Amino acid sequence: MSSFFGLGKTRTFKPRKDVPEGTKQYQLRKYAEATLGSGNLRMAVQLPEGEDLNEWLAVHTVDFFNHLNMLYGTVTEFCTPQECPVMSAGPRYEYLWEDGAKYRRPTKLPAPDYVDALMNWAQNLLDDENVFPHKIGVPFPRNFRDTVRTIVRRLFRVYAHIYSNHFDHICALGIERTSSAALCFPRSRGSI
């Protein structure tokens, strides 16, 4: 089995390269970073006037993926098949994996296997120029927003799992107050 996070397995994660300076995607990323630091979350996620919604969604989807990858990477030693035999977010939410290829039907997986399959699946979509075009002027596919919705919904499941099952680890590591964790983990032990 390949591993997205490369923990003693055959495949390691290759982070996405930043977009080149001067491109539209670079400008959108810089705008998003500036507004996130403002404390106004509504402004941070609002489409800037005159910008293409699909470009905006693409930039935020890639950033969400990258932030989640880093955050989950901090708890991989705690998120093991023995500790997390089910991909869940508490007792009421269990997630089954289906990708239409290797897993044609919803399949129960241990959380680390689910996350590995999800991150590999998402990385393949983000790298596919037919889904996420990297060149200006290349149109996005007609189903792009549906694809982004599916990616983000599935990625959020990992945040939910971390929050539900590994929040104490996040606190013990002292990273609950970091910008990406603070946005996702408002239940910190103390003020943010």
Q: Which amino acid, one-letter code, is at 138? A: V
Domain locations in the chain as residue ranges: 53-184
The answer to whether the annotation marks 134 as part of a ligand binding site is no
- Residue range 99-142, pLDDT digits in tens: 999 999 999 999 999 999 999 999 999 999 999 998 878 899 99
Query: Among 31-40, 123-132, 154-163, which stretch is predicted with the lowest mean pLDDT?
Result: 31-40
The answer to whether the annotation marks 184 as part of a ligand binding site is no
CATH class of 53-184: mainly alpha
Q: Which residues of 125-144 are buried (b: 16+ CB within 10 A; e: fewer)?
A: bbeeeebbbeeeeeebeeeb
The answer to whether the annotation marks 169 as part of a ligand binding site is no
14-32-149 Cα angle (round to 5): 65
pLDDT at 177: 61
